Amino acid sequence: MKRYILKRAAALLLCAVLLASFSAALAADGNALTGSGELKREWTMDQDFTLADPAPWNLEELKQAVDVLDPRSVAAYWVWAVTRLTDDYDDGMAMMKYLFADINPYDPEGGFTEGGLSGKAGWDSYFDERLTDPDYRWLPRAYFEGASPANGFKPDRPLTLELYYNEPNTKAINNQTSEQEGRLNIVYWVMSHAGQNPNQVNINLTKFKGSDRWYVTSGATSVALFYDQRSGHDAAVLELAANTPNDDSTAEEHARRYGGAPAEPEPSAPPAEPEPEIEIPFTDVPEDSYYIDAVGWAYNTGVTMGKSDTSFDPLGSCTRAEVVTFLWRAAGEPEPSSSENPFTDVPEGTWYTKAVLWAVEQGVTKGTSADAFSPAQTCSSAHIITFLYRAMGVGADGWGAESRDWAFGEDLTADTGLTISKDEDCPRSAVVAFLYRTYAETDEG
């Protein structure tokens, strides 16, 4: 009898242990762990997200509709806020600024600026003309479900967005930032319902250290939602799309859902004195190339004026002097705080001297030795990505897999065909594409 009691007690103890382990496993299975926090299980799966109906017209209504503690909600309303730019620039921009934040470069504490460093939520004014162009203004709404060629790409109500969880990019970014800077990240991608090869756009979202809410931190996605998807559609479809409104909700509906007097919203003008469209003078930049927008931005902002008046030389290589100069110009040509020059191969007064001094001060590069910068040395794709990684304040080193994973996570390498290696030549077309995708979101135009 005593032996039976002991066996019974042992069996009960084993059951208790197994039950505790099973409960812990269930709890752990509910969340995806990262170094600085947890992603809820329901966030880390492909799913449809439905917006409030009617979708908000302005910031006051957005604050009632969006759940800033849920990255799915922030991502979905971000796409809608970008769509609103084409109907009311001021309201759309106010909504975008509420949902967006820039990571503060060079801030070791992982700080951020709500609304973006440029105060434009990552929007690049180089694309302002697309907001009023009927051939382009319908493109963002085509990401919502129900949009099709047959209905002029007008989505169903209530607006619903298909969110696809980008697990590889999420893990890559969190591996870099969750422990070092206390940032928790998640990446979704959305797909257009227009085009023969539907455009896919990543939306990076971040919860910063000391904050409990989520922000979009990939401002370039706002421009990416306007990427041309018209090819393959006949003139009748495009005409229907151009003449179909984004939103057929009424003031009365908005008053019932959000409160207030049912007054029709007054459309505001596009931003004052928009930049004129720049005619790219280069005959060697094809109109259907992945880098044409990047070259236009670089030419417009003075990052590079090409190899000659008519040649950009997209397949040519870049030297170390050229790359740091491009970076310096993209950052606004800041004055170095010191004129001390440690490099014997960087003469005073050259077109790249200030850029080199600035790059050294900012930790972008230390040179190839204590007293040599090697300005004429060709830059590999790995060197260029590492310079960008450091210039954006993502990390202090970043050489190798660290900066490569960051570049893949930010979609910097899309369409370039590059693998990011120290032995891989990087053409000028890819260099300006990297810069454009990194800096255009904080560029004033």
- DSSP states of 102-143 as a string? EEPTT-TT--EEET-TTSSTT--GGGTHHHH-TTTTTGGGGG
What DSSP letter does each residue of 58-90 carry, written as one string? Answer: SHHHHHHH--TT-HHHHHHHHHHHHHHTTT-HH
pLDDT reported for residue 366: 85
Sequence-separated (6 or more) residues with CB below 8 Å from residue 93: 85, 120, 121, 123
Point out which residues pair with 202 in neighbouring strands: 189
Show the tokens assigned to 438. Answer: 């990194």
Distances (CA, A) of 444 to 120, 132, 254, 415: 8, 19, 33, 25
Residues of the chain where predicted confidence (pLDDT) is lower than 70? 1-37, 105-110, 126, 178-181, 261-279, 396, 398, 441-445
- Nearest-angstrom CA–CA distance, 109 and 415: 34
- Nearest-angstrom CA–CA distance, 263 and 252: 8
pLDDT reported for residue 138: 92
What is the amino acid identity at position 94?
Answer: A
Cis ω before 54 (30° cut-off from 0) = yes
Instruction: Quote helix, strand, coil % in the chain, to nearest 5.
Output: 40, 10, 50
pLDDT reported for residue 17: 38
Q: Rounded to two decimals, what is the model's pTM?
A: 0.57
Q: Tokens 């030549």 map to which residue?
A: 425
Sequence-separated (6 or more) residues with CB below 8 Å from residue 84: 57, 91, 92, 95, 246
- Nearest-angstrom CA–CA distance, 79 and 264: 23
Point out which residues pair with 191 in neighbouring strands: 200
Q: What is the CA radius of gyration of the chain?
A: 25
pLDDT reported for residue 30: 40
Show the tokens assigned to 339. Answer: 């004129």
Cβ-based neighbour number of residue 136 at 10 Å: 20
215-216 vs 200-207, strand pairing mode: antiparallel
b/e code 314-339 from CB counts within 10 Å (16+ = b): beeebebbbbbbbbbbbbeeeebeee
